[in-house]
Amino acid sequence: MTLQFLVGAVVSGINIMIHAMVTVGAIGIARWAGLRHTAWPRLHLMAVMVATATALMIAHTLEILVWSLAYRIFKVAPAGSDLIYFAFVNYTTLGYGDITPVEAWRLTGPMTAMNGILMFGWSTAVLFEVLRKTLEHLAAIAAPDFSSEDRA
């Protein structure tokens, strides 16, 4: 059990570092994009949000790949299992149950899910902050076809 917690903590720590790097990058890009004046504020807002969401989805995919690598190294699932699928199911808390961990590693599923929930919550906060800052910027520059009512 101790080894399971240790492996889960290390993989979660790696994923937190990945998410932190992507968050810093996404916020930097959003700030850069926010400094630009635009003739099409709604299109600008949409582009910033799509870019941010895409970056965060890439981060989640990398984090799932880290979990699947840990599953492979420690032989968490029965031989022949699709480890990427298994990691996706656990990370997203979907929990089909068609693949289950071997008895000695049964805590890795819930630990993966706990990590995924944390990362998804973090992503939601990042998306909201990028949206808020971009709307704030568009209002500040009095972008054409943009009113303070759009901030609601």
pLDDT tens digits, 12-65: 999 999 999 999 988 887 777 766 667 788 888 888 899 899 999 999 999 999
- Given pLDDT bands bounded at 50, 70 and 90, which one contains residue 148? low
66-116 pLDDT, tens digit each: 999 999 999 999 999 999 999 999 999 998 889 999 999 999 999 999 999
Q: How many CB atoms lie within 10 A of CB 131?
A: 16
- pLDDT of residue 137 exceeding 90: no
Q: What is the pLDDT of residue 45?
A: 85
Q: What is the pLDDT of residue 4?
A: 95
Please list, in sequence order, all residues whose beta carbon lies within 8 angstroms of the beta carbon of residue 151, skipping any fewer than 6 positions away. Answer: 135, 136, 139
- pLDDT of residue 138 exceeding 90: no
Q: What is the pLDDT of residue 31?
A: 78
Surface-to-core class of residue 12, CB atoms within 10 Å of its CB (0-12 exposed, 13-18 middle, 19+ buried): buried
Residue with tokens 């949409």: 46
Q: What is the pLDDT of residue 139?
A: 77
CB 52 within 8 A of CB 127: yes
